[in-house]
Amino acid sequence: MRLLIVFCHPVPESFAAAVRDRVAESAIAGGHEVRIKDLYAEGFDPVMSREERLGYHEAGDNELPVAAELEAVRWAQGLIFVHPTWWYSQPAMLKGWLDRVLVPHVAFTMPTETDPIRPGLPHISLVAQITTLGAPWWLWTLMGRPGRSVLLRGVASCCGPRCRTFFMGLHKMDTASAAARAAFLIRVGKRIARIPA
């Protein structure tokens, strides 16, 4: 499977980077093709400009500002998002990537008076989210788990009809011991190893 890892963390030596590396290593060991989009390292601009918004609904034109990103999405058969959870959701950088890259006529069709919105990424059969969270599980659940819904419901709804999803999260990250972090990396490696090639 062709897996696109979308990674979002501003600190290169972060634990999130270790998670990204474990995902990539395990995927390659499992026979997958892997690409990594490191949004901070690549200097991705998450801000949608006025001109971009005015052309947002224009097929073809709306692809031009994010052509390189869309090439990677079109290449992928699976999307794996690796990021921290801040304020119960994705960092602004990653939300901006979703806003700018998953445009109409590519990721989905616009609804009309007679037709509903339809998915535009049928070639993607996997969407996964691997994250760290400062909040304990119960508090994040009480808040409605918005970050999970954005990716595993929102993005996945743009994908193939049999798109599989999974979530992995290390809660209470700020106080997690070295042993807890190491155990999480082991779990991540094992879960990635179960993805069919």
The contacts of residue 116 (CB under 8 Å, 6+ apart) are none
At residue 48, the pLDDT reads: 97
> 2 pairs with which residues across the strands?
33
Q: What are 103's two structure tokens? A: 């445009």
At residue 112, the pLDDT reads: 87
Provide mean pLDDT across the span 85-105: 97
pTM: 0.96
The span from the CA of 70 to the CA of 8, in Å, is 17
Q: How do the domains of the chain map onto residue ranges?
A: 2-193
**Which is nearest to 77 in space by CA: 121, 131, 137?**
121
* 3-class DSSP assignment, residue 134: coil
Convert the pLDDT of each residue in 60-81 to its tens digit: 999 999 999 999 999 999 999 9
Dihedral angle over CA of 105, 197, 151, 99, nearest 10: -40
Extended beta strands in 86-196, E state: 108-109, 118-119, 126-133, 164-170
Convert the pLDDT of each residue in 97-141 to its tens digit: 999 999 999 999 988 889 888 999 999 999 999 999 999 999 999
Task: Spell out a b/e string for 125-147, using b for 16 or more CB atoms within 10 Å of the CB, else e.
Answer: bbbbbbbbbbbeeeebeeeebeb
Q: What is the mean pLDDT of the chain?
A: 96
Task: Spell out a b/e string for 150-177, using b for 16 or more CB atoms within 10 Å of the CB, else e.
Answer: bbbeebbebbbeebebeebbbbebeebe
Q: Which CATH number fits domain 2-193: 2.102.10.10, 3.40.50.360, 3.40.1410.10, 1.25.50.20?
A: 3.40.50.360
